[in-house]
């Protein structure tokens, strides 16, 4: 195995402020859970909290976590996907999961950093 895991940190910018202000947290939660399962990860639990305005979430995975925080007033979302490679190489699925979650927010610009976790 080439690394212990991968962490993808993203700044999603240029998002429609009205979209972020009025997004449906139940729909986002259902779609993120669907994507997590689709890419073969195991969701252990989640916590979503709505602000006025904004939404924050932490999803615990058997393989690590997915988190995001929205700032509707700035048209900005921070997104973090971290998966380990304990039983198999999850790097490509983690990248695809990040990209698909990012697309839910309809960002015009995504600044992404990929960190390979090594021992």
Q: Which residues are catalytic?
A: 64, 69, 84
CB-based contacts of 42: which residues, under 8 Å, 6+ apart?
Answer: 36, 61, 62, 63
CA distances from 100 to 7, 13, 28, 119 (A): 15, 15, 12, 28
Containing 28, the helix (H) or strand (E) segment is: helix 25-38
d(CA 21, CA 75): 9
């Amino acid at each position: 195995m080439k690394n212990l895991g991968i962490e993808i940190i993203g700044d999603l910018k240029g998002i429609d402020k009205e979209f972020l202000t009025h997004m449906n947290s139940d729909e986002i939660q259902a779609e993120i859970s669907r994507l997590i399962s689709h890419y073969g990860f195991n969701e252990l639990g989640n916590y979503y909290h709505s602000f006025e305005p904004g939404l924050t979430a932490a999803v615990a995975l058997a393989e690590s976590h997915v988190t995001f925080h929205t700032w509707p007033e700035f048209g900005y979302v921070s997104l973090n996907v971290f998966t380990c490679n304990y039983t198999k190489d999850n790097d490509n699925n983690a990248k695809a999961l990040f990209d698909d979650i990012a697309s839910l927010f309809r960002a015009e610009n995504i600044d992404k950093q990929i960190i390979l976790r090594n021992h």
